């Protein structure tokens, strides 16, 4: 590896940047608690590991050089984020309609999270983000010594560092989300507004991804 200090600083800053992965983990922890939050986080870590492996194997370069393939993955990712946003808006509307109902009745009327699988959703969000794949290959290769005999080991160490940083950050988000959960259950207007705001951000991510280029 080369310039490990720069890599550490860059990784921390990148992990701290808001994105659909971290936002989803925060929202699911706030809505469903610590266990579901970590299930979503596990999906993010799995997706990141897959993207790192693909980047190390050169798949990201192939994606970057094939505009048609990039476009397919791009619009699949944007469509999935948009679908998640619409489901969140449905849930927010249900919470708003139940804002004057007893807490037990309001909780039983929430349809959006009944069949939600945080691990699978977070994994799909991670994998359907071509810009993340391109970023991984552009970032990792800068810190691998081209003269080293076993570059796979370098990628493994760099990937482990990135995962530790991600685990630390997502754990903080999960704790914060769990603390918000009680307030959301007691104040359904706040919960509906927060869910609507997250849905709007997801829609913005979907639009940004659909407009992204492969270069």
- Provide mean pLDDT across the span 3-32: 83
pLDDT digits (tens, 9 = 90+) for 30-43: 888 899 999 999 99
Looking at residue 104, what is its pLDDT? 40
| Residue that the structure tokens 């290769």 belong to | 141
51 is a domain residue = yes
pLDDT greater than 50 at residue 112: no
Average pLDDT over residues 194-200: 73
**Residue 2 banded pLDDT, cuts 50, 70, 90:** confident
Owning domain of residue 16: 4-210
Give the Cβ contact number of residue 152 at 10 Å: 12
| Residue 150: HSE in the Cβ half-sphere, 13 Å Cα cutoff | 3
Q: Does 215 reside within a domain?
A: no
Please, which pLDDT band fits residue 106 given cuts at 50, 70 and 90? very low
Q: Which residue has the higher pLDDT, 95 or 57?
A: 57
Q: How many domains does the chain have?
A: 1
> Does residue 127 fall inside a structural domain?
yes
Phi-psi region of 117 (alpha: psi -120 to 50; beta: other; left: phi over 0): beta
Tell me: the pLDDT tens digits for 127-168? 887 667 766 766 766 777 767 777 778 888 888 998 999 999
pTM given for the model: 0.70
């Amino acid at each position: 590896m080369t310039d490990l200090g720069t890599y550490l600083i860059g990784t921390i800053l990148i992990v701290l940047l808001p994105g659909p992965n971290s936002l989803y983990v925060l929202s699911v922890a706030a809505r469903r608690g610590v266990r579901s939050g970590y299930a979503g986080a596990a999906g993010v870590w799995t997706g990141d590991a897959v993207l790192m492996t693909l980047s190390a194997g050169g798949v990201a370069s192939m994606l970057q050089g094939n505009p048609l393939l990039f476009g397919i993955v791009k619009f699949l990712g944007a469509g999935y984020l948009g679908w998640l946003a619409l489901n969140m808006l449905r849930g927010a509307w249900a919470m708003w309609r139940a804002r004057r109902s007893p807490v037990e009745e309001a909780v039983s009327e929430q349809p959006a999270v009944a069949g939600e699988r945080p691990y699978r959703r977070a994994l799909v969000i991670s994998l359907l983000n071509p810009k993340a794949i391109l970023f991984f290959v552009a970032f990792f290769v800068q810190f691998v010594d081209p003269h080293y005999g076993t570059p796979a080991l370098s990628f493994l160490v760099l990937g482990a560092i990135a995962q530790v940083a991600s685990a630390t950050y997502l754990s903080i988000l999960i704790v914060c989300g769990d603390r918000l959960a009680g307030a959301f259950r007691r104040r359904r207007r706040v919960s509906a507004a927060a869910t609507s705001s997250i849905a709007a951000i997801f829609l913005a991510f979907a639009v940004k991804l659909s407009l992204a280029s492969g270069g």
